[in-house]
Structure 1
Amino acid sequence: MSGNRDHDASRRYHEATRHSRESVRASSHGLDWSNKPEPFKIYPDLPVTPLPRDFPVPTMDALAAISGEVDAAAPLDLERLAALLFFSAGVTRRQTYPGGGVMYFRAAPSTGALFQTEVYVVAGGVTGLAAGVYHFSPGDFALRQLRAGDFCGALAIAAADEDLASRPAVLALTAIYWRNTWKYQARGYRHLFWDSGTMLANLLAAATALALPARAVAGFVDLEVNGLLAVDPEKEGALLLAPVGGPAGFAPSPPVIATIAPPMIPLSESEVDYPLLRDAYANSALDSEAEVMAWREAAWRSARPPAGVLVPLPPPRPSAGRPLADTILARGSTREFSGAAIGAEELSTALWHATRGGQADVPSGLVDLYLTVHAVEGIEPGAYAYHPAAHTLELLKRGDFRQEAAYLCLEQALGGMSSSTVFFLADLDALLETYGNRGYRLANLEAGLIGGRLYLGAYAQRFGATGLTFYDRDVIAFFSPHAAGREAIFVTALGRSVKTSAHAPLLNPSPPSGERAG
C-alpha cells in the first residue's frame, strides 16, 4: 500500500528542513573535505561505448529553443544523442586549483556544484547504438551498458504511458543522495528536484534545438524504474523520465528484468545516512500502474487571477541573437552581481520564456512566482507577483528592498544585489491534497525547471543568474498577505555581473520591512 497519500509525511519533512536565522546559526554541521564524494559514478566492469565528440551543435536561437516546439522530428542517432547528453549533463569546462584539485563544471548548474543528478539512457531505436540500458558517464563522455535489449516497453508499463514504448530512447534522471547531503544534509531532498529540474530545462531546450521531440514524465512506479536502472533507492532514486525522439513503432515486449548489482567504485570512504530524506522519497512513491493513472488524472486548480495594482510587462523578445549552444557554454552561476539595471524588456523576456513551452504528464502552474525588483528600467522598485497567463506583474508593495531580499536569501548579498530576485512559492496544502506526497516532488521540480529556464533566458540576453536558498518563513511573511498559506520553494536571482559593471553598492542584509502598495 502506497504512502503517497499520507500527506503528513511531506509536511513533516518540510517543517524539519526549514531554514531560519536561528537554525542556521545553531547548526554545528561542518564539511569533511577528506570524505567529499567523488564527482562521477564509476562502473569499472561494464562494457563501454565512447560517445562521438563530433556531434551536431544546437545553433537554434536560445529563446526559441527554451519555449519552442519541434515541427518535424529528426531521426535519433548516436551523434544527436551525444549532443543531447553533452548540453544537458556534460562537462563543459575544468578548473584546476593550487594543489592539484580539479572542479568539473557541467552544462546545467547544481546546488553547491555537487552534481548529484545522474542520467541513464534506455535505448530501443537509436541508430548506431545497440538497444539496452546505459549509464551516461560525463567524466569520459561515454555510455556504460547495464542491460542489453529494448526496455522502453518496460518503462511504458511503469509509467502507465504506452507512448514511451514507441520512442527511440527514454532518458531517466536519478540522484545520488550522498553527493548532495554531504554538504546540505537532509534539506538536500529539495535540491534533488531543483537540480534535476534545472537539468530538464537544458534537456528540453537542447532537444528542441536538435529537432527531437521530448517531454517530462514525473509519474511512474518507482520500484520498477529503480529496478530497471539497478539503483538502490536507499542511496539513489529515479526522479524523472524523458522520452526523446519521434515515434519509431512500438517496442517488442520487454525482456525479463533480472536483478543485477554491477560493482561500483565507492563515492567516499564512508557515508552519512539521512533517514528524513530516504523517508521523504519512499513516502512519495507510486506502487502500481493503476495508482500512476489515477495520480495523473488529478485535476489541479486554476491560477489566481491578477488583481490590485497591475504593471503590464513589455512584449518579450522572440529571439536573443545567441545560439543555444553558446548560451549553455557561457552559463555559470553568477558569483557577484553589480547592482546595475537590466531593462524591462529583458526581465519580461526571461519571465515569458521561462514559463512557456515544454510538455509533461502533469499541468504546469504548480508554483507561483514572486519578485523583488531592485533595478529594472521602467519598473518601479518593489515587491510583485507575476501572472504568467496575463504576462503582467501585480504590485504588492513599493520600496527599495535590496536589504530585505539579501536577508531572505540566507543573508547572501546576491539576493539584494541582483536586478530582480524571483521567489518560487507553492500552495503546499493544495498540492499534497491533489498529488499526495509526490506533489512535493512536483513543486520543487517545476521550480527548478523554471529556474533553469531563467538561467538560459538571462545568459541568452547576456546578463547573469544564480540559484539561492532562503529563510522559509521569512519569505512568506515578506510577501504576505498575498502569499499567506503558501510555502517557499526556491529562489533565482537575475542581474548583471560585476565583471560587466563597476557599480556595486554595499549591502547590510536586514529583516523585511516596507510600505505596502495601495
Structure 2
Amino acid sequence: MTLEARSALTGYVPHGHVPDRRPLDLREVPARHKVYPGVPRIGLPWESTVGDSPLSVLGAFLRNLCGLTRMVWMPGVDLQGNRISGTVKAHLGRPAPSGGGLHPMEAYLAVGGPAMEPALLHYDPAHHALEQLRRGDHREALTGLLHAPPPTPPALVLVLTSRFWRNAVKYREFGYRLQTQEAGVLAAQAVAVADRLGVPTEVHLNFADRRVNALLGLTPSAEAAMVVITLHGAASGGPAAGSGPGYDGLVQQAVPEPLFDVPPIRDRLPATAALHEASLTTGPGTSPGPPRHPHPLGEPITLPRLPVRSADGIDLRRSPPDGFLPDGIGDAPLAGVLEAAAAGLPGAACATAMYCLALRVDGIPAGAYRYDPVEHALRDIRSAPRDLAPVLSHTPVGEAAAVLLPVGDPVGGLVPFGARWYRLLQADVGIALQRGALAAAAVGLAARIHSGEAPELTAGLGLDGTQAVLSALLIGVPRAASTWDHPIAAHGARAQGRSEPGRAQGAAHGRRSGGPWGHTPNA
C-alpha cells in the first residue's frame, strides 16, 4: 500500500457519507443508454424457455440482468421530488435497482463457440440487441487477467462497467459510492438469473483493471470495469475448440466510438477520480482473506429455518414507492431474508457484518440485533449505548417491519487491499442488499434500499472506530401504490408488482395484516 492510496481513500470517504443536494442541471444529463452506431447488430429473442437455443438463453440472461422489463406509469414530480397534481409520466423499468433510477452500469460480452461468432459485444438494452465492437475470441484474453481464473474455459465472459457521470450528474462525488454498491447489486442479480437458467456462474472482483479497460476500448476516466462474470454451459453454446488470439493482438484493433458518451471526471469529481485511479491495477493482484469480524456477543434468539432461493424473487422484486404499511411480519420470512443476505457470493470480500432492527416482527422483541450466520440467530445488542428515535422517526425507515444494516469499515482493508478496498467493501454491501431484496420478494414481502449513511444508526448500534452502517434494506408490507406497471413481454414477468400468489405466500409465512395490500401494483 502506498501513501497515495491511503490519501485517496481517506480523502474520498467523507464524500461518500451523504448525497450532494445541489440542484440538477438538465443540460449536464448524459444519454440514458450507450449506443455504438453503425456496427453490426444481433437482435436477441424476447422470450426464453428451458431447452431453448443458446441465443435465447443469453437474451433471457441479459434482459433479466440489465434490460428493460416493464413500463411504469407514475405521478409527475418536480426537480425536488414533489408530486405535480394531475400529471403522469412513464418510464422503462429495469430488473435491478439503481440509485435514482439512473443505471450507470453497462454490459460487455466476450462470446464464441458453435452458436455465436467469436467477438466482443456490447449490450444495448433499449433495443435488446448486441453490438459487435471487435471480432475475435476475447474470452481467453479476459480470463487471463483475472486473479482467480475459472478452472475450465467459460462459455461467455461478461464485464460490467460503470459510466461515472451517468449518476454523478445528480449525486456528484457520492455517486461513486452508489456505483460501487450497484456493481454488487448486479453481481448478485447475475448469479440469481443464471441460477434460474441453470447456467453455472462465477463472480470476479479482482482483475487487471487497466488491461481490461484497454481491451474494451474504454476511457478509464469516464467509464471503467467493475465486475467480471464468467458463465459456463448454454449461455453461448460452449467454448470454441482451440485457443483464441492473444491480448496484444486484440487490443491493437480499434473499438468504434460510442454515441453521446459521458465526459471524463478528473475535473468534475476530483475525489472520485483520485480514489478510482488509485484502485486500478496492471496485474491480477492478490486476494488475502478479508478482515475477520469478532464473534457476535449477546443473548441469542434462535431463528426458524426458511431456505429462500433468490432466483424466485426476480420477477416479484419492486421498490415500494409509497413506503410501507405499519404492519408486522413473521420471524420465519425475516430469518430467510437474513440468511440469504448474509451469505454473500464466492469471489466477493464477504467483509460486512449484518445488523438488524426488528421493529414489528412476531416472536422478536423490538430492538437492535446483530445476525450470527454460524448459529443462525440474532444477538441482542440492546445493552449498547444508542438512541435510534431520530432514525425511526424518518419515513419510510420507521414504517418498515425490519431494517437490515450491512456494517463495515471503509478504511479497515487498506492493508493488504490498498485503495481497492473501498470498491470491494461496497460491492459486498450491494450483494447483501440485492440478495436480501430478492429473498424478501420470494417470501411475499417488499424491500427498498435506503442509500446513504445515517450517523444516528452508526452511533445507535454502538459501533467502534471507523466501523459504520453502509446502507439499509427496509423490509415490510407495501402501502397501496400510486403507480402502475406492466411487463414489456410476457415471459418471466407479472402484470402487477404483487400478485395474488405473492399475497398468499406472505400470509402463509406469518405476515399479520393491519390493512390491505392495496389494489394497485408497485413500481
Shared fold, TM over 0.5:
yes
CA distance in 1 between counterparts of 2:101 and 2:151 reads 32
Contact 2:330 2:362 in 1 (8 A): yes
Displacement of 1:355: 2.5
Aligned residue pair count: 464
Match for residue 72 of structure 2? Answer: 95
Is 1:136 aligned to residue 137 of structure 2?
no
**Correspondence for 1:83 among 45, 60, 79:** 60
Amino acid at match of 1:333: S
Displacement of 1:420: 0.8
CA distance in 1 between counterparts of 2:257 and 2:98 reads 26
The alpha-carbon distance between structure 1 residues 34 and 102, as it changes in their structure 2 partners (threshold 3 A), is farther
TM-score, normalised on structure 2?
Answer: 0.82
Amino acid at match of 1:257: V
The alpha-carbon distance between structure 1 residues 3 and 77, as it changes in their structure 2 partners (threshold 3 A), is farther
Displacement of 1:308: 1.7
**Correspondence for 1:375 among 336, 360, 376:** 360
Match for residue 471 of structure 2? Answer: 490
Amino acid at match of 1:308: G
Match for residue 47 of structure 1? Answer: 40
Match for residue 317 of structure 1? Answer: 307
Q: Secondary structure at the match of 1:216?
A: strand
Match for residue 156 of structure 1? Answer: 143
CA distance in 2 between counterparts of 1:28 and 1:162 reads 42
Amino acid at match of 1:84: F
Residue by residue over 1:192-243, the C-alpha shift from the partner in whole angstroms, topping out at 9 and shown as x without a partner, is: 1211211111110111121111011011111111111111111111001000
Is 1:202 aligned to residue 189 of structure 2?
yes
CA distance in 2 between counterparts of 1:160 and 1:150 reads 20
Amino acid at match of 2:220: P
Is 1:441 aligned to residue 423 of structure 2?
yes
Match for residue 510 of structure 1? Answer: none
Contact 2:109 2:157 in 1 (8 A): yes
CA distance in 2 between counterparts of 1:398 and 1:75 reads 56
**Correspondence for 1:146 among 133, 143, 160:** 133
Displacement of 1:354: 2.2
Is 1:460 aligned to residue 442 of structure 2?
yes
Stretch moving more, 257-266 or 275-284? 257-266
The alpha-carbon distance between structure 1 residues 257 and 165, as it changes in their structure 2 partners (threshold 3 A), is farther
The alpha-carbon distance between structure 1 residues 165 and 12, as it changes in their structure 2 partners (threshold 3 A), is farther
Which structure 1 residue ranges, 4+ long, deviate > 6 Å from structure 2?
97-100, 268-272, 398-402
Q: Secondary structure at the match of 1:376?
A: coil
Alignment of structure 1 residues 99-248 onto 2, 5 Å: 102-125=90-113, 127-163=114-150, 166-246=153-233, 248=239
Match for residue 332 of structure 1? Answer: 318
**Correspondence for 1:256 among 241, 250, 254:** 250
CA distance in 1 between counterparts of 2:391 and 2:21 reads 26
Residue by residue over 1:39-93, the C-alpha shift from the partner in whole angstroms, topping out at 9 and shown as x without a partner, is: 2111112111101123227xxxxxxxxxxxxxxxx99821211111111111111
The alpha-carbon distance between structure 1 residues 153 and 313, as it changes in their structure 2 partners (threshold 3 A), is same
Displacement of 1:3: 5.7
Residue by residue over 1:6-37, the C-alpha shift from the partner in whole angstroms, topping out at 9 and shown as x without a partner, is: 22321210023323xxxx7xx66101235433
The alpha-carbon distance between structure 1 residues 314 and 3, as it changes in their structure 2 partners (threshold 3 A), is same
Unmatched 5+ residue regions in structure 1? Answer: 58-73, 505-518
The alpha-carbon distance between structure 1 residues 164 and 152, as it changes in their structure 2 partners (threshold 3 A), is farther
Displacement of 1:427: 2.6
Q: Secondary structure at the match of 2:201?
A: coil
CA distance in 1 between counterparts of 2:242 and 2:47 reads 30
Contact 1:54 1:79 in 2 (8 A): yes
The alpha-carbon distance between structure 1 residues 177 and 469, as it changes in their structure 2 partners (threshold 3 A), is same
CA distance in 2 between counterparts of 1:28 and 1:351 reads 32
Amino acid at match of 2:269: Y
**Correspondence for 2:382 among 397, 404, 410:** 397
Contact 1:402 1:417 in 2 (8 A): no
Is 1:479 aligned to residue 456 of structure 2?
no
TM-score, normalised on structure 1?
Answer: 0.82
Which structure shows the bigger proportion of residues in helix conformation?
1
Contact 1:4 1:285 in 2 (8 A): no
Contact 1:46 1:145 in 2 (8 A): yes
Is 1:16 aligned to residue 15 of structure 2?
yes
Contact 2:344 2:431 in 1 (8 A): no
Q: Secondary structure at the match of 2:150?
A: helix
**Correspondence for 1:308 among 252, 274, 298:** 298
The alpha-carbon distance between structure 1 residues 32 and 301, as it changes in their structure 2 partners (threshold 3 A), is closer
Q: Secondary structure at the match of 2:185?
A: helix
Residue by residue over 1:396-417, the C-alpha shift from the partner in whole angstroms, topping out at 9 and shown as x without a partner, is: 118998743346xxx4x12111
Residue by residue over 1:407-436, the C-alpha shift from the partner in whole angstroms, topping out at 9 and shown as x without a partner, is: 6xxx4x121111111111113343222311
CA distance in 2 between counterparts of 1:466 and 1:329 reads 15
